[in-house]
């Protein structure tokens, strides 16, 4: 009798714990963004990912290329800022939706990049909108189109 109540109580507590943990699991990951102190579009991109639920720690560095080199971002892939999130490298003006998809699907890649700084990408909004691709890249330098805009 007591054992049955005990089991019920345990199940109820477990259910409660799961319900309470769910909102935390749904929270987006924390991101560290390396950028030059004078980069305006970097800040605009940070605002974009924050608006999509990411927590951002921005670090100003004098030479972002050192961060890129250390994280497998080649010259062809390079943009302004370099971000690290949950084991992945995010280079440039990558839309938050792609980062969320990356973190959900977790492919075996180093990260995502939007090379250069295409007009119309998040943080680069203006009167002109260019077409651009988000590419995934790996350690060997191999790239693959992840999404098209
Ligand atoms: Cu930029």
Collect all residues with Cβ–Cβ distance below 8 Å to 52 and sequence separation of at least 6.
Answer: 28, 96, 97, 100
Average pLDDT, the chain: 89
Residue 13 lies in a domain: no
Return the closest-CA partner of residue 49 out of 111, 134, 132, 121.
121
* Six token digits for residue 91: 């280079």
21, part of any domain:
no
Q: Rg of the chain over CA atoms, in angstroms?
A: 20
CA of 82 to the centre of ligand 1 (A): 10
Is 142 within a domain?
Answer: yes
- The domain in which residue 72 lies consists of 27-148
* CATH code for position 135: 3.40.30
Taking 60 as the threshold, does the pLDDT of residue 67 lie above it?
yes
Q: How far is the CA of 134 from the centre of ligand 1 (A)?
A: 14
The fraction of the chain above a pLDDT of 90, given in percent, is 80
The closest of 140, 88, 130, 131 to 112, measured between CA atoms, is 88
CA 43 to chain centroid, in Å, comes to 15
CA distance 81 to 8: 52
pLDDT at 31: 97
Confidence (pLDDT) at 133? 98
Q: Which residue has the higher pLDDT, 3 or 23?
A: 3
- Find the 130 Cα to ligand 1 centroid distance in Å: 14
Domains of the chain: total: 1
Distance 117 CA to ligand 1 centre (A): 5
Q: CB atoms < 10 A from the CB of 100, how many? A: 16
Contact 134, 100 (CB under 8 A): no
Residue 52 lies in a domain: yes
141 pLDDT band, cuts 50/70/90, is confident
Q: How far does the centroid of ligand 1 lie from the alpha carbon of residue 52, in Å?
A: 18
Distance from Cα 114 to the centre of ligand 1, integer Å: 10
Give domain status of residue 48, yes or no: yes
- Does any domain span residue 3? no
Q: If you measure from the C-alpha of residue 137 to the centroid of ligand 1, how many angstroms do you get, rounded to a whole number?
A: 19
Identify the pLDDT of residue 10.
59
Q: What is the distance in A from the centroid of ligand 1 to the CA of 79?
A: 6
> Does an H or E element contain 50, and which?
helix 40-51
Q: Are 45 and 93 in contact (CB under 8 A)?
A: yes
Whose CA is closest to 68, among 85, 84, 47? 84
Residue 10, in any domain of the structure: no
């Amino acid at each position: 009798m007591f054992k049955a109540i005990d089991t019920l109580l345990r199940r109820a507590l477990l259910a409660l714990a799961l319900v309470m943990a769910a909102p935390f699991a749904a929270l987006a990951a924390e991101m560290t963004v390396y950028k030059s102190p004078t980069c305006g579009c970097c800040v605009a991109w940070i605002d974009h990912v924050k608006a999509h639920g990411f927590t951002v720690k921005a670090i100003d560095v004098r030479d972002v290329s050192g961060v890129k080199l250390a994280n497998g971002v080649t010259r062809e892939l390079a943009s302004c800022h370099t971000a690290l999130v949950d084991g992945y490298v995010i280079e440039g003006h990558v839309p938050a939706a792609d980062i969320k998809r990356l973190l959900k699907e977790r492919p075996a890649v180093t990260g995502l990049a939007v090379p250069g700084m295409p007009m119309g990408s998040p943080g680069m909004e203006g009167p002109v909108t260019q077409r651009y691709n988000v590419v995934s890249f790996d350690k060997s330098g191999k790239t693959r189109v992840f999404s098209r805009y």
